Amino acid sequence: MAYKSNYTYVNLPVKDLNRTKEFFSSIGFEFNPQFSDEKAACLVINDNTFVQLIVESYFQTFINKPIADVASAAGGIIALSADSREHVDQLADKALTAGGKQSKEPADHGFMYVRNFEDLDGHLWEIAYMDMSAFSQE
């Protein structure tokens, strides 16, 4: 039987937790206070997916190598789905207004529309809408 996780937690190091929480709150995300304190904040993506934003000094206690400098090199991309093209634009525009940076030009593939941004620490995020009707089940 294949492994299936009930929950997904992505852990990201951040420099300034309060600033980071303000950034993601202004985009429209919420935090779970049960798993948040002065060292970390639990960003809720959906009922089963969370991003634990962890102050760098505390994050370092979980690893045995240096924290990557994602401001100058990519360490991964957190990709999230949106309900529509308009929702993609809404989320990406909010991220840019809140201080994020556009990391790539928007991509329109017809059946899929994607916008990208860097958060305040340089982590890469992708917001995408995919028109599933383009994949007929004939």
Q: Output the six-digit token pair for 69.
A: 């400098």
Based on the fold, state whether residues 22 and 73 are members of the same structural domain. Answer: no
Based on the fold, state whether residues 82 and 49 are members of the same structural domain. Answer: no
Q: Output the six-digit token pair for 91.
A: 């989320």
Lowest mean pLDDT among 18-32, 45-59, 68-82: 68-82
Alpha carbons 104 and 115: distance in angstroms, whole number? 7
Interhelix angle 85-97/17-27, nearest 10 degrees = 150
Based on the fold, state whether residues 39 and 100 are members of the same structural domain. Answer: no
Find tokens 């299936």 and name the residue: 4
What is the reported pLDDT for 99?
97
Alpha helices, H only, 36-112: 56-59, 85-97
Provide the whole-model pTM: 0.90
Based on the fold, state whether residues 77 and 55 are members of the same structural domain. Answer: no
| 76 torsion bin: left (phi>0), alpha (psi -120 to 50), beta (else) | left
Residue at which a domain ends, from 14, 35, 62: 62
